[in-house]
Amino acid sequence: MTKTLHIIGGGMAGSEAAWQAANLGIDVVIHEMRPKVKTFAHRTGDLGEMVCSNSFRSDDDEQNAVGLLHWEMRAADGLIMAMADRHRLPAGGALAVDRDPFAQSVTQNLMDHPKITVQHDEITELPAGGHWIIATGPLTSEGLGQAIAQETGRDALAFFDAIAPIVYYDSIDMSKAWMQSRYDKGETEAERTAYLNCPMDRDQYEAFIDALLAADKTEFHEGETANYFDGCLPIEVMAERGRETLRHGPMKPVGLTNPHQPDIKAHAVVQLRRDNALGTLYNIVGFQTKMKYGAQSSVFKMIPGLENASFARLGGIHRNTFLNSPTLLDDQMRLRSRPHIRFAGQITGVEGYVESAAMGLLAGRLAAAEIMGQPLPPVPQDSAMGALIHHITGGAEAKTFQPMNVNFGLFRPVEGLKGGRRGRVHRYKAYTDRAKAAWTDWLATQNMSCAS
Ligand SMILES: Cc1cc2nc3c(=O)[nH]c(=O)nc-3n(C[C@H](O)[C@H](O)[C@H](O)COP(=O)(O)OP(=O)(O)OC[C@H]3O[C@@H](n4cnc5c(N)ncnc54)[C@H](O)[C@@H]3O)c2cc1C
């Protein structure tokens, strides 16, 4: 049997899988359909394109599960993390990335790798033999989606996430807005002033909620359900859940002081985060939406400071294709019915750039080890990687399976530590210490080289 690994999809997961397998000595072919075949969300033909937010979220590897995943990927020489670090933008405690140079660097590194070939073709059938990873993401093309559904005997589930709008900086009224990270978090002045804040008083907030509730929204097609993933709720859905919900979510006013009116506490604050290195674009944090375009621009212009805003991109809704992994995949991420095919990335039911890249990293290593005839020990469940793969391939309830972000709720408890909010700092530190040790040990088992 051929020793070449074929990867369908060169997004976050496919790019990382290719890098890992190639670095272990395996010949890899990436089949990426862009730019020949487009998706509605990608703009370029680059590999590893970030389609919406430019954030890899928290970079805190001691107190945050996604920060821990960053740490584990860096320890495994991950390409996605290396390029994210190279193109980092100031964003308080978060890892924000300059998206175009990031994707260009990911692409260049893969193209330059002697073991990797990139073919721009759309795959529409399930491969009959060989070694394959399918990493086609939430926007898997229709032909391949149908082939997968036919094989699995179950419809790939579909639900909707929503995209946040992006505003041109020079259209923002800085006599009303100001730059500050919440609680002035960050070590440098750039970090401490990474966010742009727009304050609202009570009347402005109430009028804004009324407008959100009344706005024209995009209708769902027949057979689609508004089954949102809770971490990515559209703002109008949050407003429907209660008039105060946004004030306790993305519009919370805490940790911020308005220098234009230092004695007046804002009732709510809309935050925008820098979206490119030039500082010309800002995205409205947490403002995913399914309002129609006309409604969006009039509602968002009610935000003080954004009265004359120009939008580089308005928000939208999108499809998300994912498998019922707990029933369909084994603990090596192989399709039970055709074990020569692995799945990786968002299509396995993880959510987010970081989690998708992480599952690509694992799939690449697992596939490489199998091709070399040197199977790996199980991924340690105490690592963030292990917690996530365990959840999607078995830990989750299959009947109610929904895409999952990495979080400490997926980790086994550390014995003898205090529960509740008070013990949280010690508990999270114990989780992350334990995870790092387990992950380091697992990586140390992999002194592999390709059998020639
Ligand atoms: C509109 C939208 C907004 C999102 N916003 C965010 C966000 O703000 N933050 C976040 O963390 N995550 C976000 N996500 C989720 C994001 O897509 C994933 O987190 C991440 O990109 C998934 O990585 P992936 O490698 O699984 O898929 P992708 O990065 O999408 O890569 C899949 C690749 O497969 C290719 N492909 C598809 N079908 C075929 C085929 N048949 N043959 C060949 N190639 C194919 C695609 O062109 C694509 O390049 C968003 C997703 C969408 C769709």
CA of 105 to the centre of ligand 1 (A): 18
Stretch 403-424: mean pLDDT: 80
Q: Any idea which fold 162-319 has?
A: Elongation Factor Tu (Ef-tu); domain 3 (2.40.30)
Domain ranges (residues) in the chain: 5-155+323-444, 162-319
Question: What confidence score (pLDDT) does residue 452 get?
Answer: 32
Q: Nearest 10 degrees: CA dihedral of 122, 128, 131, 133?
A: 40
CA of 346 to the centre of ligand 1 (A): 7
Residue 12 assigned to a binding site: yes
The b/e string for 243-259 (b: 16+ C-beta within 10 A; e otherwise) is eebbbeebbbbeebebe
Residue 13 assigned to a binding site: yes
| Segment holding 79, helix H or strand E | helix 79-86
The b/e string for 72-95 (b: 16+ C-beta within 10 A; e otherwise) is bbeebebbbbbbbbebbbbbbbbb
Report which ligand 1 atom has the smallest distance to the Cα of 47: 49
Confidence band for 297, pLDDT divided at 50, 70 and 90: very high
Question: What confidence score (pLDDT) does residue 424 get?
Answer: 85
DSSP string for residues in 242-271: -TTTGGGTTT--TT---TTSTTS--SEEEE
Share of the chain above pLDDT 70, in %: 90
Alpha helix locations (H) across 321-352? 325-328
Of the listed ranges 169-178, 256-265, 441-450, the one predicted with least confidence: 441-450
Confidence band for 211, pLDDT divided at 50, 70 and 90: very high
pTM of the entire predicted model:
0.78
Phi, then psi, of 162 in degrees rounded to 5: -130, 145
Question: What confidence score (pLDDT) does residue 447 get?
Answer: 64
Which of 52, 228, 273 best tests ligand 1's pocket when mutated (most atoms within 8 Å of CB)?
A: 52
Report which ligand 1 atom has the smallest distance to the Cα of 353: 19
CA of 139 to the centre of ligand 1 (A): 6
Residue 14 assigned to a binding site: yes
pLDDT digits (tens, 9 = 90+) for 138-150: 999 989 998 998 8
CA of 168 to the centre of ligand 1 (A): 25
As a whole number of angstroms, the distance between CA 121 and CA 133 comes to 15
Highest mean pLDDT: which range of 94-103, 142-151, 161-170, 441-450: 94-103
Residue 11 assigned to a binding site: yes
Question: What confidence score (pLDDT) does residue 229 get?
Answer: 55
- Strand partners of residue 96: 55, 89
Stretch 363-388: mean pLDDT: 96
CB–CB of 191/333 below 8 Å? no
Phi, then psi, of 180 in degrees rounded to 5: -170, 135
Q: Whose CA is nearest to atom 27 of ligand 1?
A: 137
Stretch 245-272: mean pLDDT: 96
| Domain at 5-155+323-444: CATH code | 3.50.50.60
| Segment holding 210, helix H or strand E | helix 202-214
CA of 50 to the centre of ligand 1 (A): 8
Stretch 79-103: mean pLDDT: 96
Q: Whose CA is nearest to atom 35 of ligand 1?
A: 9
Stretch 67-74: mean pLDDT: 98
As a whole number of angstroms, the distance between CA 100 and CA 189 comes to 24
Report which ligand 1 atom has the smallest distance to the Cα of 164: 8
CA of 138 to the centre of ligand 1 (A): 5
- The residues, ordered by sequence, that sit 6+ positions from 298 with a Cβ below 8 Å of its Cβ are 211
Q: For the chain, how far is it from start to end, CA to CA, in angstroms?
A: 13
Report which ligand 1 atom has the smallest distance to the Cα of 13: 25
Beta 28-31 vs 5-8: how paired, if at all?
parallel
C-alpha count within 13 angstroms, C-beta hemisphere, residue 69: 32
Protein residues with CB under 6 Å of any ligand 1 atom: 8-14, 31-34, 39, 41-42, 51-53, 122-123, 135-141, 144, 161, 163, 318, 345-347, 352-353, 356
CA of 137 to the centre of ligand 1 (A): 4
DSSP conformation class of 347: G
